[in-house]
Amino acid sequence: MENIKIDLTNAIPFIDLTDFNKYEKLTAEKNDLLKSKSGKGNEFLGWNNLPNEIPSELISEINLTAKHLNQISEIIVVIGIGGSYLGSKAVIEALSGNFDYLNTNKKNSTILYAGHNLSEDYHYELLNYIKDKTFSIIVISKSGTTTEPSIAFRLLRKEIEDRFGKEQASKRIVAITDSSKGALRELANKEHYKTFDISDDIGGRYSVLTPVGLLPIACAGFNIKDIILGAKSMLKQSEENPFNNNPTYQYAAIRNALYLEGRTIEILANSTPRLNFISEWWKQLFGESEGKENKGIFPASASFTTDLHSIGQYIQDGIRNVFETIISIEKTKYNLSIPTDIDNLDKLNYLEGKSMDYVNKMAELGTSIAHSDGQVPNIKISMPELNEFYIGELLYFFEKSCAISGYLLEINPFDQPGVEAYKNNMFSLLGKPGFEEKSALINKRLKKN
């Protein structure tokens, strides 16, 4: 069985190689902190050994619940924000066909999302779209009190209860939340919803391999056992492989070395739009984990070759504080070769018979040479193909590398204190009880302006 590989050839020239050797010891030390639970944020390390600990009964329960929801729904609406929806959306998009969402004869329910924004039009249109379709709800919130999913759930709960009656509605709602506290847990207990717990020691952005990610992924028809097998494989590699052959150590080390050389922006690039939401998930994972104490690499993303015709110019010639990480898929799912054309007016006959993926790979290679010539280091992550196993490897690869990277920066990669700032202002402006003092201050400030 092949594995995900990391290639640093186009990044190494941008750092001091003798200095890079120090990371062999450093990354192992940081991993030891994770294993011994003696680093910062050690109360949130439940994800670390999770792939080895998921009970088979839980997998069966998730698959059974997914089967039940699929049987009674054309649409399943996943309500959640941040870590409560990004992982499942990323995996479902990576594994689904690009146009599957247009197929009305699918075997599985269509998964739609709510509560990940506060757009009135988005939620109006969603309610309008599902009004003549059978639907169910998976509502996900660890805290059970987050404003965006709470509002969306209130709207969708009213719709589902009006349509199916309270008793039937409660059979169409699954809540994934804390085992004992929070408003969602209270409501779920009161209304007898089917529930899954999020353990206390797993934060939102590290929760994709818990029911938070696994239930929606199973509902979309994908094999969650294989995803876990992939994650297990990467966990094993990260524990057992020596530095030179340890993808998580290599990625954490090169990121830190580049950061210390002034590379403060990382662009995660792909060459297939199916991975665009993996980038969104990755942005949350790294952005929310590392961006604190005025430190951290800013996570950005690009999809090639699309974005080579937009921000490609900036990457090639703009400020040299950028580096790239390119996810390359070795084998496509389908084959499409370039047909011959007797007139050859488009001058493409030199590519006749070549696969479209061959052209894509040459674009990818040409880009990485051009960007490294333009002084942009690039890291290559190769995935043998896009399937459940390699997606599992990729998810755990990023989770583990992110935690080690955070420890290399000497920050706590498992908290997110900065997220409260906008919430406090929003609550004050909305007049939420308990925010009166802040509300008076903020209103005074707004009047002055």
Q: Which residues bind ligand PA5 (CB under 6 A)?
A: 81-84, 141-143, 146, 149, 203-205, 288, 416
Among residues 410, 420, 423, 436, the one annotated as catalytic is: 423
Among residues 309, 347, 444, 448, the one annotated as catalytic is: 309
Q: How far is the CB of 139 from ligand PA5 (least distance, A)?
A: 10
Among residues 159, 280, 288, 364, the one annotated as catalytic is: 288
Alpha carbon distance 33, 38 (integer Å):
5
Under a CB-based contact definition with an 8 Å cutoff, are residues 159 and 130 in contact?
Answer: yes
Tell the residue number behind the tokens 């992550």, with chain if given. Answer: 381
Q: How far is the CB of 150 from ligand PA5 (least distance, A)?
A: 8
Residue of closest CB approach to ligand PA5? 204
Q: How far is the CB of 58 from ligand PA5 (least distance, A)?
A: 19
Task: Give phi and psi for 330, each to the nearest 5.
Answer: -70, -40
Tell the residue number behind the tokens 């020596």, with chain if given. Answer: 242
Active site annotation includes 288: yes
Q: Which is nearer to ligand PA5, 141 or 238 (CB)?
A: 141
For 64, 80, 156, 226, 323, the CA distances from 221, given in Å and listed in that order, are 12, 20, 23, 12, 36
Alpha carbon distance 203, 178 (integer Å):
11
Nearest to 216 by CA among 72, 104, 106, 112: 112
Active site annotation includes 148: no
* Cβ neighbours around 18 below 10 Å, total: 7
For 247, 273, 290, 404, the CA distances from 231, given in Å and listed in that order, are 13, 23, 22, 17
Q: Which is nearer to ligand PA5, 204 or 377 (CB)?
A: 204
At 158, list the tokens: 């009213």
Q: Which is nearer to ligand PA5, 6 or 278 (CB)?
A: 278
Q: How far is the CB of 442 from ligand PA5 (least distance, A)?
A: 22
At 420, list the tokens: 């409260």
Q: Which is nearer to ligand PA5, 139 or 408 (CB)?
A: 139
Q: How far is the CB of 2 from ligand PA5 (least distance, A)?
A: 31
Active site annotation includes 423: yes
Alpha carbon distance 174, 136 (integer Å):
8
Q: Which is nearer to ligand PA5, 83 or 213 (CB)?
A: 83
For the annotated catalytic residues, the residue numbers are 288, 309, 423
